Amino acid sequence: MLSIKSLLLALVPFVLSVHVNAGGNREEAFIGYSERSLECQDRLDHCRDRARHDGCLTDPYNMRTFCPISCVVSKCMSTGTLKVRHSGFATEEDTHNFAQRFAERINTKRGQDKNTILSHFRKRNFYDVPLTLSSLGIGTYLGDTDARTDDAVAAAVIHSVMNGWNVIDTASNYRWGRAETSIGAALASLLAGTVTGDFLQESEYSQDITRSMLFISTKAGFTDESLVRKLVQARKLGPSDVSGGHTLDPEYIIASVEASLERLNLKTVDLLYLHNPAEMQLKRLGWPAFRDKLKKAFIALESLREAGSIRSYGLATWDCFRVPPTDPGHVSLEEVVALAKEISKNKISGFSAVQLPVSATMPEAWLQPWQKVRGETVSLMRAAELLGVAVFTSGPLGEGELLKQMTSRLDPVVQLRAETTTAQKLLQLARSTPGGAMTSALVGHKTREFVESNTQLTLHEPLTEADFRQAMQQVKAILDRATPDTADSGNASQ
């Protein structure tokens, strides 16, 4: 059976001939893209042959730049050409297959021990289904809103997935929606089909990436003005429903998810977060009114689950799980989980995950006992484990600031000597955060140098809890001595 990817490559000569015959010359083939006429042509020898042998995936930075036609780069195709919305979602079987195949490939190629590679993956339950997910995931937060950044993000996603990262995170407002569009472009190159069962295992396509191998999350809450205007005109949203560029209104959340799916070229996302709901609304509303808004939002999310647009939902946060109970911005995870269970009416709740920053300078999630579960005072990580909630962490490089602060200063930390760069050392700490709920540390990276370096960490085992705690004691001492003017070439990060 031909994969979608192979079918696209087979169609390229036909698509181009239609364009050229209709317009008479190459420039006219790309109406609306005249400024890109030089970009939209293959400029390397044997581009088509390299593309047939997965060069677009194994060398995305070069191939997407120099062989855009053979790699079916979307900007070089006329509007509507080859637009595909991928069906499916992460499954137990195929996330397991992703990990096993990656470990086998690295073992064959480098002789690396398979168990070491497999230690990069964790099995976590979502909607009562165990998924095998990479301990590092791709974040897409920062970056300019231009075509160059779009291309860099798409290439970074492709390179990361091909190097063992099957967690991809984004948001409707990241780069004004262009982050989701960039991921959609990457998926168009990566995905061969829905599930591995679509292919005969002895065929040449048995190693293809399928939708069911990837865990993809996005977020809703921060508003898009054009979408707000549309909903207000349709009388589905009132001006009072939006505050400070943020809303938990059910109609907006449903419309935002549909817009995200369109940009991602997906029929379903695995996880939809409400984006910073407490940070944007809790202090203004107070807990009773905030809880009421959260309940209505959860009801909308359950309806999206039933419709098949999302598989699960959660909260993406910044402060609310990292401040003590005495802080007016504090949120009890136990109460949130209870609210979701109340809505699900004894069925399996769709509430499955939280996201919050964890880094060398943000240890609260695992260090501070600021949550209560069944009367026991515990850390957020422990609370999540007891409540069956997965934790994804963000900000491991402090949006690049930690790199400036910590360059070369982590070299004396014995437990981190296997990692060669400051970014690798910080990522090793973040993904090694202890706890049975810890799933993936998300990092945003685009530049080829950083992407290739960060994905090398896949070949290393995470730290044991004992080594992590010893390392963090040394890191704290280093931070206490750190001076603020240490310089480094920044790595844009999430």
Does residue 82 lie within any of the structural domains? no
Give the residues across from 376 on adjacent strands.
373
Q: Both tokens of residue 293?
A: 């808004």
* Domain co-membership, 97 together with 60: no
Distance CA 375, CA 372 (A): 6
Mean pLDDT (the chain) is 87
* Domain co-membership, 348 together with 424: yes
* pTM more than 0.85: yes
Which residues form the domain of 247?
92-481
* Domain co-membership, 20 together with 112: no
Residue 39's contacts (CB-CB under 8 Å, 6 or more residues apart) are 68, 75, 76
Position 441 pLDDT exceeds 50: yes
Position 17 pLDDT exceeds 70: no
* Domain co-membership, 154 together with 60: no
Lowest mean pLDDT among 333-347, 362-376, 480-494: 480-494
Does residue 491 lie within any of the structural domains? no
Does residue 487 lie within any of the structural domains? no
Does residue 87 lie within any of the structural domains? no
* Domain co-membership, 65 together with 103: no
* Domain co-membership, 45 together with 191: no
Does residue 453 lie within any of the structural domains? yes
pLDDT one-digit tens code per residue, 156-168: 999 999 999 999 9
Residue 169's contacts (CB-CB under 8 Å, 6 or more residues apart) are 137, 138, 139, 140, 216, 217, 218, 355, 392, 394, 442, 494
* Domain co-membership, 156 together with 32: no
The mean per-residue pLDDT over the stretch 31-47 comes to 65
pLDDT one-digit tens code per residue, 292-328: 999 999 999 999 999 999 999 999 999 999 999 999 9
pLDDT of 355 reads 98
pLDDT of 483 reads 53
Does residue 45 lie within any of the structural domains? yes
pLDDT one-digit tens code per residue, 328-354: 999 999 999 999 999 987 678 899 999
The mean per-residue pLDDT over the stretch 41-48 comes to 87
* Domain co-membership, 130 together with 53: no
Q: Cβ(194)–Cβ(88) under 8 Å?
A: yes
Position 468 pLDDT exceeds 80: yes
pLDDT one-digit tens code per residue, 204-244: 445 689 999 999 999 999 999 999 999 999 999 988 889 99
Does residue 489 lie within any of the structural domains? no
349 or 77, greater pLDDT: 349
* Domain co-membership, 38 together with 186: no
pLDDT one-digit tens code per residue, 380-411: 999 999 999 999 999 999 888 898 888 889 99
Does residue 476 lie within any of the structural domains? yes
Distance of CA 280 to the CA centre of its chain: 22
Distance CA 4, CA 15 (A): 15
* Domain co-membership, 184 together with 228: yes
Question: Looking up tokens 């995305």, which residue turns up?
Answer: 60
pLDDT of 83 reads 62
Tell which of 76, 101, 123 closes a domain: 76
Position 357 pLDDT exceeds 60: yes
Tell which of 51, 76, 101 closes a domain: 76
* Domain co-membership, 13 together with 139: no
Q: For residue 186, give Cα distances in angstroms to 155, 209, 231.
A: 7, 12, 30
The total domain count for the chain is 2
Q: What is the CATH number of the domain that holds 121?
A: 3.20.20.100
Tell which of 76, 102, 118 closes a domain: 76
Phi then psi for 355, rounded to 5 degrees?
A: -130, 135
For residue 100, give the nearest of 185, 24, 213, 178 by alpha carbon: 213
Length of the chain: 494
* Domain co-membership, 152 together with 237: yes
Rg (CA), the chain: 23
